[in-house]
Structure 1
Amino acid sequence: MRTPNGLAKLQKRLAAIPAEVKVAVQPALLAAANQMAADMKSLVPVDHGDLRDSIEVTPAGSATPSHSQPGGSTIVPENAVMITAGNDAVRYPHLVEFGAGPHINGGEFAGTQNPGAPAQPFFFPAYRINRKRAAARVKRAISRAVKGR
């Protein structure tokens, strides 16, 4: 049975959508992640700038820095972008984000009291500020790709 020309054209177009969408979404994902990372860098407390400079955007197919938060070195899956804080030299972003409670030290200063540190959130506030805008940006990119613009 032959399909009408319009139906065949539509089926061809529908089959091509996933590839077009994957290509079209990457710039939107990177733009949204770069905006989030910029906001994180503006919110992070700065002593020497090491933590601020460790905030990175990693595109799909690339590896995140080792010892980064959240999760250490990971290959970013297709159609994704990861924002991480920390690296080999900066292993404390979680302590800045969530704080540390008072505790008794071990090691060289065993038995001394550490007063802890208050939380100074920077990562998740920037995420919460940007997530709706990022989702809208990605949805627009998908719509444009589906419509063929």
Structure 2
Amino acid sequence: MSSNASLERWKRRLAKVPLDVRKAASATALSEADGLASAIKARAPRDDGALQESIRTESGGTGDRWYVKAGGERTTRPVREGASTTYDYALGQEFGNAHVPAQPFFWPTYRMLRRAIRNRIARAVQAAARKTFET
């Protein structure tokens, strides 16, 4: 198995960042992820409400990454009655299928907000770094 040199370099650089700065970045990222999830919920198609309820924020494991996800158990249904194969209709809503045209709600919202999200996280990191290194 080959190693990813750029990932290892990134991990070494990240380890040098002070803990206060990492905490500020993580807190801001969580806040921004929650805001993005709320915006996506507002744009999601409304049928029985399961799609909106499936939109959530999840930790990337270490607490420094946050993911906004839609779909999952709540929106997974059999392909047709009596079939054992299942289909996540959140994907059908976003991308369409042979029977239904796409009704995108997730990616357009992300694309619309991503620059502002990145800027707010960057400002929070800069402020935390400034505060850390001034003392």
The reply to whether TM is greater than 0.5 is: yes
1:1-149 alignment runs, 5 A limit: 17-61=17-61, 77-90=62-75, 91-101=88-98, 116-148=99-131
> TM-score, with normalisation over the residues of structure 2?
0.72
CA distance in 2, matches of 1:16, 1:125: 35
**Pairwise CA RMSD:** 1.8
Equivalent position SS for 1:79? coil
Higher helix share: 2
89 and 78 in structure 1: CA distance in 2 versus 1, 3 angstrom threshold: closer
Greater Rg over alpha carbons, structure: 1
147 and 16 in structure 1: CA distance in 2 versus 1, 3 angstrom threshold: farther
Equivalent position SS for 1:89? helix
CA distance in 2, matches of 1:46, 1:78: 31
Unaligned 5+ runs, structure 1: 1-14, 62-76, 102-115
Equivalent position SS for 1:119? coil
147 and 85 in structure 1: CA distance in 2 versus 1, 3 angstrom threshold: same
CA distance in 1, matches of 2:33, 2:115: 12
Equivalent position SS for 1:139? helix
Equivalent position SS for 1:134? helix
CA distance in 1, matches of 2:16, 2:128: 10
